[in-house]
Amino acid sequence: MKTNQRMRRGFTLVELLVVIAIIATLAGIGVPVIIAQKKKGDLTEAIANSKSIGLAMFNFDQDYGGYPSEATGTQVDTNNPNSGMTFTGNSNAFFRQLVAAGYADSEKMFYAKAPYTIKPDNNMIGSACLAAREVGFAYVMKDASTALPDSGNSGMPLIVAALYNGVADGGQFDPDVYGRKAVIFRMDNSAVAESIRPSDKTVVVGGGKSLMTSGEGTVWGTTVPSPVLIPPMQ
């Protein structure tokens, strides 16, 4: 008796092209969604960390009479003469005052996703504490050595992320890190995600003015005529 055997045929070129097209279409749909969710997660983490830094700064203010500055850096250094740390010059150094003074017990709270950052290794000894690229936040000051007044407008930004290219010039923010959002922690203990204007990479607040624009009708008023962004160390 003869047995009929079906010949197994492979995919035709047309069928393979159809499968490839379907896979490409699904990837085109799925990848942007995944990227958007990742940016949302990074944004949520940055907002939470900014609140932790803010709480440490408020407690620091209660004991040192102001937010981290050149003056408080001298006090912290006097109280911790063998710390091996520097306390001024960039946001890493100013935030380091919080560590040396005992208000922060982990480097992780200073991390914010950005092209210029890496995950902190939590080595908090000497110069390794908040080393280059371990801080993602910029610190807002009255000038390069003086902290913002703690009695100022409660809407004044105190901590922000993520700066464009990690530099403070022009108060520009990177629109690609958090999906066109910037993290702004204010003195009223609120942390918000503000929209970044793509045309000039600035955050625009009430009246169409840039976040870092001072003067009448702004959160800075005349108390802080020229607010300064202190960038993190890269």
58 contacts 85 by C-beta, under 8 angstroms: no
Which has the minimum average pLDDT: 3-7, 24-28, 57-61, 220-224? 3-7
Residues above pLDDT 70, as percent of the chain: 90
Give the count of beta carbons closer than 10 Å to the beta carbon of residue 39.
17
Q: Which is more confident, 209 or 99?
A: 99
Per-domain residue ranges for the chain?
13-230
The pLDDT of 93-111, averaged and rounded, is 97
Write b or e for each residue in 55-86: b if 16 or more Cβ atoms lie within 10 A of its Cβ, otherwise e.
ebbeebbeebebbbbbebbebbbeebeebebe
pLDDT band at 172 (very low <50, low <70, confident <90, very high): very high
pTM (2 d.p.): 0.85
pLDDT tens column, 115-161: 999 999 999 999 999 999 999 999 999 999 999 998 878 999 999 99
145 contacts 66 by C-beta, under 8 angstroms: no
Chain centroid offset of residue 28 CA:
29
pLDDT band at 170 (very low <50, low <70, confident <90, very high): confident
Q: Which is more confident, 143 or 169?
A: 143
Query: Looking at residue 32, what is its pLDDT?
Result: 63
Q: Shortest CA distance to 157 belongs to which of 134, 131, 129, 183? A: 183
pLDDT band at 4 (very low <50, low <70, confident <90, very high): low
Angle CA 183–29–176, to nearest 5: 25
Residue 27: pLDDT above 60?
yes
pLDDT band at 206 (very low <50, low <70, confident <90, very high): low
As a whole number of angstroms, the distance between CA 191 and CA 189 comes to 7
Query: Looking at residue 28, what is its pLDDT?
Result: 73
pLDDT band at 96 (very low <50, low <70, confident <90, very high): very high
Angle CA 123–230–146, to nearest 5: 105
Query: Looking at residue 16, what is its pLDDT?
Result: 78
Query: Looking at residue 169, what is its pLDDT?
Result: 82
Which has the minimum average pLDDT: 4-8, 43-47, 124-128, 197-201? 4-8
Q: Taken in order 158, 160, 164, 165, is the CA torsion positive or negative?
A: positive
Structure tokens given for 129: 């504490």
Residue with tokens 């290794």: 121
